[in-house]
Amino acid sequence: MTPSFRTLRHIAIASSLLFGLASQQATAADSGKITIMVGGITKLIYLPARLTEQLGYFKDEGLDVELLSQPAGVDAENELLAGAVQAVVGFYDHTIDLQTKGKDVKAIVVFGQVPGEVELVSTKAADTIKSMADVKGKTLGVTGLGSSTSFLTQYLAGQHGIQSTEYTMLPVGADASFIAAIKQGRIDAGMTTEPTVSALQKSGDAKVLVDMRSVEGTKAALGGTYPASSLYVQSAWADSHKAEAAKLAHAFVRTMQFIHTHSAEEIAAKMPDDYQKDKPLYVSALKASLPMYTADGKMPADGPATVLKVLSAFNPSVKGKRVELGKTYTNEFVSAK
């Protein structure tokens, strides 16, 4: 049957609309804008993300960067895999976990040589929980199930022979939601970062159980440095956007150098006011966090092996699997001139 003129006209219009839509999508993809999802943008472990923006280093590199925030790193990871964002500021351990699931993701800048995480115990439960050996039957707060805080919680408990089935992990997010969970007694203990740690200590609602804000504390808990907060991307994106990746890395390295050459007060002065509603508390928390940052954005030599050891101890996705650590990170971009 020969198509009528009206039918041909409808086909032409539909084709034109589809071509127009495809062109718009291609234009958006090639707009040069880089969207970075941060796993909790007000956390001090991820300070370099907002600080780089505040210092104007993205613009200095000619980059158009948008920062978005997602309370848990595992959710930010999903946004990356879906192609909704080009990069994630989150924990390096996700790159190892993802490789065992067939996803090729790598860290291109390392912000934290240690987790910067603290296991806090509620003051109400402090008499019964003296160490991670006492968490059997307790409810432990994590930012999200499958998040880096859940990885670390399971490892710390496992070091005392306590299986993940012997306690409850409750996802409570970070910042205000974590504080509420402690105050309301919904969790007995939980893992969080600054400035939440200092806020709960100041209010008297929690005490430190395990401190991984310093190299010494992290080595005592995990047996080595534990590269944590980082900028990671899909390897395919890094391979096809080498110039952009190098510019991003350079901007962040400048920030790491700024952190290491300025006081906590000077760094805080560069941050937005809504990040430091209690400025003395914020500065105090920042001072406690400064030892965790790298000076050059490079991966610590012993770091990847420590992270793999931790994940292999309990994570079924990683345990017994062959992992090519060299594919989970690169110093190529932070070393580029």
Show the CA angle centred on residue 218, arms to residues 188 and 68, nearest 5°: 75
Contact status, residue 214 vs residue 197, Cβ threshold 8 Å: no
Mean predicted lDDT score pLDDT of the chain: 89
Predicted confidence at residue 75, as pLDDT, reads 77
User: Quick check: helix, strand or coil at residue 170?
Assistant: strand
Band of the pLDDT at 179, cuts 50, 70, 90? Answer: very high
Separation between Cα atoms, residue 205 and residue 207, nearest integer Å: 7
Predicted confidence at residue 126, as pLDDT, reads 97
Band of the pLDDT at 146, cuts 50, 70, 90? Answer: confident
Contact status, residue 335 vs residue 299, Cβ threshold 8 Å: no
Q: Among 75-79, 135-139, 142-146, name the one with the lowest average pLDDT.
A: 75-79
Predicted confidence at residue 314, as pLDDT, reads 80
Total count of domains within the chain: 2
In a domain, residue 220? The reply is no
Q: Are residues 230 and 331 in the same domain?
A: yes
278 Cβ contact partners less than 8 Å away, ≥ 6 residues apart: 199
Predicted confidence at residue 296, as pLDDT, reads 96
Domain that holds residue 272: 31-114+226-335
In a domain, residue 221? The reply is no
In a domain, residue 49? The reply is yes
Q: Are residues 109 and 231 in the same domain?
A: yes
In a domain, residue 47? The reply is yes
- Judged by phi (left if over 0) then psi (alpha if -120 to 50, else beta), residue 137 lies in left
pTM score, whole prediction: 0.83
pLDDT (tens digit per residue) in 257-313 = 999 999 999 999 999 998 888 999 999 999 999 999 999 999 999 999 999 999 998
Identify the DSSP state of 169. E
Predicted confidence at residue 277, as pLDDT, reads 85
In a domain, residue 17? The reply is no
Separation between Cα atoms, residue 40 and residue 38, nearest integer Å: 6
Q: Are residues 37 and 103 in the same domain?
A: yes
Q: Are residues 72 and 149 in the same domain?
A: no
Separation between Cα atoms, residue 46 and residue 67, nearest integer Å: 12
- Strand ranges for the chain from DSSP E: 33-38, 64-69, 87-91, 105-110, 117-122, 139-142, 168-171, 189-192, 206-212, 229-234
121-157 burial, b at 16+ Cβ within 10 Å, e below that, comes to bbeebeeebeebebbeebbbbbbbebbbbbbbbbbbb
Band of the pLDDT at 337, cuts 50, 70, 90? Answer: low
In a domain, residue 3? The reply is no
In a domain, residue 55? The reply is yes
pLDDT above 70: percentage of residues in the chain: 89
Residue listed under structure tokens 């880089």: 34
pLDDT (tens digit per residue) in 35-93 = 999 988 999 999 999 999 999 999 999 999 999 997 665 678 888 999 999 999 999 99
Last residue of a domain, one of 212, 244, 263: 212
Span 153-180, average pLDDT: 94
